[in-house]
Chains A and B, each alone.
Chain A
């Protein structure tokens, strides 16, 4: 088990190193930052001075090493556009994205698993078929379209919910939260639903498929033959076996909720890191882009690692040494 964990951690570090290379390569190959930083009225001396100051005259590997060194300490340099440290900007923006991702992830998980089980158990019922048909819409409509439709119905026509922004936020330490004000919670509903809908339908369809597969297994038949109640069979025997593959996909999906919040944040002008990233692209603000890339990959890798460790909690077959404890 320990060897397994160490191997996974090593793999994760390798992935991060490669992503770091890509992020760093942006500085190098996406335009010359000096051009962006100095105006039209620059002299050659200015350019040379800034180049030395920023260490851009060093060889590539040295620059990469310095980039990694700084990145590990959370230092991604100054934003070209705002002139402030990138880490400071990220920390400021992160609570908005995390709160949005948390709520939509919770929504996707709760409804995805619940409806998945329901549609698997009542697979011939009218309600289950209706849900399955509707879920096709969730899978096939693009996120931005759903967001715009929701804004049109609930913000423009009905006027129940705000169409953009986070509402009022309360600062607790360095964390700004929208959970504590009415307008903050109202503002969260539409973006969270938009962001979570796709994941929800995906999880639901996955849970349903896996559950139907598990319900066909011999041990479910045997559980029936032992006279167990349907509830015990569905939730104690079937659901647990369903969860192993579901956790894998769900883990990755939760990572992508944070990563792909970009579109939702743009549609709803949600002041999170996704919107920051979009704006950074428009202004070729490479330090912000690189830092965002690194942050997302750390999250992905971290979630993956947690998912792999969750297998051990659920499946006892992985926990035990294979050769031990066999009686013939």
Chain B
């Protein structure tokens, strides 16, 4: 793990998570839906990949597919998911269960509902630790206290026997993070970890995630629709639209020099304090429903740059790790200036 962290050869650095051409399908009576369609990306150790997009763009579905928690009838219909080089999308259920919590941790959106109200946080921590690590009951308790201290719960030893309702929302999210990290996973999937929290608490949770990611060299997949969170935390950004990855690149580049018209529209409609007080632009229309995707590029009905080609041909696929947009007419720095 540490080797890859210190490797300077970034292109060859082994990715902790490697997703290739992932397709998730939901068979319905009206036809098969593809909430995730041909998505590819890598996350390296110590790196935070932000996944953004509107509601229903397939962000969470991708995360759930990785951890093996797709709700039936949704299923992985194609592609590969590799964790530390080993395929995990086609392994038996029980092996996948062992990976969950152990090699892959997950943080959910709402800390008020993701903890079992009838068990103490100590019970929930130790049961997770005992499931994955070969330690005794008392050692598991020590590790639980250490995990709580690490996420910044004051007086962790005294509060280990508290129930979730005795904590505030922000503190509960810290407990959730401690639970996700207590078996020292290589990859953490954080699904909207700040959405349900107060703004002031959001910043603390993001700072905590960043710190844990750097200190432990954990790869983090940060799913969110909040551009501010992405700007604050992510190293690279993957932008999703209608189940497809439309743009992938380093956070600075994507935020300031978006290539895909959708990303540019998303940025223009996001209030960022650093960008002054210009009137926010909207992207006209709404994301198409998955059962009514238009032919060609799914974004073309809302795109002011769309041409004949966009209406007829699906856009070029985005190769993983390259900061390019899946678009026939990507914005270049020159066109961006002329548009502005």
Give residues in A with beta carbon < 8 Å to B: 217-219, 221-229, 232, 236-237, 240-241, 314-317, 320, 325-328
Contacts and interface: CB of A to CB of B under 8 A. Distances in A.
A219 B101 contact: no
Nearest to A124: B72
A236 B119 CA distance: 9
Contact of A227 (B108, B131, B168): B131
B10 interface: no
B316 interface: no
Nearest to A316: B163
B48 to A, nearest CB: 19
B128 A227 contact: yes
Interface in B134-178: 153-154, 159, 162-163, 165-168, 170-171, 176
Given A219-B115, A226-B106, A227-B183, 20 more contacts: A218-B110, A219-B114, A222-B108, A225-B67, A225-B106, A227-B97, A227-B100, A227-B102, A227-B132, A228-B131, A229-B131, A236-B119, A236-B127, A237-B116, A241-B116, A241-B117, A316-B117, A317-B165, A327-B168, A328-B171
B166 A237 contact: no
A311 to B, nearest CB: 11
Closest 7 CB pairs of A and B: A227-B101, A227-B100, A225-B106, A226-B101, A218-B113, A222-B114, A328-B168
Given A241-B116, A328-B171, A225 B101 contact: yes
Contact of B106 (A219, A222, A236): A222
A315 to B, nearest CB: 7
A230 to B, nearest CB: 8
A229 B118 contact: no
A122 to B, nearest CB: 14
Contacts of B69: 221, 224-225
Contacts of B108: 218, 221-222, 225
B126 to A, nearest CB: 12
Interface of B: 67, 69, 97-102, 105-106, 108, 110, 113-120, 127-128, 131-132, 153-154, 159, 162-163, 165-168, 170-171, 176, 179-180, 183
Between A226, A317, A325, the greatest number of chain B beta carbons within 10 A of the residue's beta carbon is seen for A226
Contacts of B132: 227
A58 B168 CA distance: 64
Contact of B114 (A221, A236, A315, A326): A221
A156 to B, nearest CB: 49
A225 B98 CA distance: 10
Contacts of B167: 326-327
A226 B170 contact: no
A236 B117 CA distance: 12
A327 B167 CA distance: 6
B118 A240 contact: yes
Query: Mostly helix, strand, loop or mixed at chain A's interface?
Result: helix
Query: Which residue of B106, B116, B168, B183 has the most chain A CB atoms within 10 A of its CB atom?
Result: B116
Count chain A CB atoms within 10 A of each CB in B101, B110, B120, B153 and give the residue with the most. B101
Contacts of B67: 225
16 contacts: A218-B108, A219-B114, A222-B114, A224-B69, A227-B102, A227-B131, A227-B132, A241-B116, A241-B118, A314-B118, A315-B117, A315-B118, A316-B163, A320-B163, A325-B162, A327-B167
Contact of A217 (B113, B163, B166): B113
A237 B128 CA distance: 13
B117 A219 contact: yes
Contacts of B163: 316-317, 320
Contacts of B131: 226-229, 232
Contacts of B106: 222, 225-226
Given A237-B119, A241-B118, A315-B118, A222 B100 contact: no
B218 to A, nearest CB: 15
A217 B116 CA distance: 9
A227 B168 CA distance: 25
Contacts of A316: 117-118, 120, 163, 165
Contacts of A317: 117, 163, 165
A224 B100 contact: yes
A223 B164 CA distance: 14
A223 B101 CA distance: 9
A50 to B, nearest CB: 62
A316 B165 CA distance: 9
B103 to A, nearest CB: 9
Contacts of B165: 316-317, 320
Contacts of A327: 153-154, 159, 166-168, 171
